[in-house]
Amino acid sequence: MQNKTRYFLLIHIILFCKVLGFSQQLPQYSQWSSHQLSLNPAHAGIKNCLDVHSLYRMQWLGFEGAPKSGFITFSTPLGIKRKTKLSARHGIGVKVEVDNIGNFSSTRLNVAYAAHFNFTPDTRLSLGLYGGFVQFGYNSQNTITINPDPSITKSTSFIKPDATFGAWWNGKNYYFGLVLPNLIHSKWDNIGSDSKFRFHMILNAGYRYSMNKKYTFLPAFIMRVPPAGPISMDLNLLFDFQNQFGLGIGYRNTDAFLMMANFKVKQLTIQYSFDFILSPLRKGTLNTHEVSLIFTTCKSKNTKLTQCPLFE
């Protein structure tokens, strides 16, 4: 196990230091479609109620130093009435996110503001902005390299400003989202020679197809575009029964087959997902797991049809 751990850490040192931060710098989640505010600040206050989400992800379970990520988000509309029926609404939100992988750790604290413009009763454009900071750290202890490298043998920790822009368009049964994270390209202090936070782009979309009042299908798609390296894409299909129970499957082009389930008890939703690893890492890992909780003060208008904040 010690040799496996050393190999694992060495691979990530190469990815994060020698490549100088050009690859994926943001955590990714399998349950992204149920936690839109964790991605897109345009979802702040999109629902006319208090909305709280939390999630914890254990990736490549069984490897020492494997990624562990999680977040909690809070969202509420501002108490400002529309001047006219289709004028803008406003909302605020907060996100705290923690991501640890190998010798690297980061904590992000962001506050979101969003404006929601209805063009018709069923179509809406939302624009939002996250602003805050990220605390980033690197612990050189137990770092192993083939040749001595002074650029990665010194531990460091620093705080940098952070910002994300988001846009969202939805109709009664569909949505499109655009997210631009890492708008501020802050340099990583004392890590490599040119390492810094780099611009990313995220695109997602989804559709709700209701077979009848009991059964609903929710296909969804997300594409994550890092500054370099492979593009990550998820294709998900969620089956919902009477807005109480759901089962889903998905596929990530980079490394995994996804399975998920959720159960709703009044205003609390519990969700679990399992990533079956398809890459060579599957030989030494117990795969990837996510658990999340959602609490909302919103009450469903129709308990026999999927009521989703994406389409309200």
pLDDT one-digit tens code per residue, 193-219: 677 888 899 999 999 998 887 889 999
pLDDT at 292 (0 to 100): 97
User: How far is residue 202's CA from residue 182's CA, in Å, rounded to a whole number?
Assistant: 11
pLDDT at 223 (0 to 100): 96
pLDDT at 17 (0 to 100): 37
pLDDT, tens digit (0-9, with 9 covering 90-100), for 71-125: 999 999 997 666 666 678 899 999 999 999 888 899 999 999 999 998 888 899 9
pLDDT at 151 (0 to 100): 61
pLDDT at 142 (0 to 100): 65
Which spans in the chain are helix H?
A: 2-13
Give the CATH number of domain 2-296; options: 1.10.490.10, 2.40.160.40, 3.50.50.60, 3.90.950.10: 2.40.160.40
Name the percent of the chain lying above pLDDT 70. Answer: 81
Is residue 196 within 8 Å of 187, Cβ to Cβ?
A: yes
Q: What is the mean pLDDT of residues 230-245?
A: 91
pLDDT at 19 (0 to 100): 36
User: How far is residue 159's CA from residue 109's CA, in Å, rounded to a whole number?
Assistant: 11
**pLDDT of 8 strictly over 60:** no
pLDDT at 4 (0 to 100): 45
pLDDT, tens digit (0-9, with 9 covering 90-100), for 21-51: 334 578 999 999 999 999 999 999 998 889 9
Confidence of residue 181 (pLDDT cuts 50, 70, 90): very high
**pLDDT of 20 strictly over 50:** no
H/E stretch holding 152:
none
The pLDDT mean for the chain works out to 83
pLDDT at 154 (0 to 100): 73
Q: What is the mean pLDDT of residues 165-181?
A: 95
**Residue 177, SS3?**
strand
User: How far is residue 156's CA from residue 166's CA, in Å, rounded to a whole number?
Assistant: 31
User: How far is residue 183's CA from residue 132's CA, in Å, rounded to a whole number?
Assistant: 11
pLDDT, tens digit (0-9, with 9 covering 90-100), for 114-129: 999 988 888 999 999 9
Q: Exposure string (b/e) for 13-50, b if CB count within 10 Å is 16 or more? A: bebbbeebbbebbbbbbbbbbbbbbbbbbbbbbbbeee
Closest CA to 42 of 127, 117, 119: 127
First CA to last CA distance, the chain: 50
**pLDDT of 299 strictly over 80:** no
**pLDDT of 11 strictly over 50:** no
pLDDT at 285 (0 to 100): 74
Confidence of residue 147 (pLDDT cuts 50, 70, 90): low
**Residue 5, SS3?**
helix
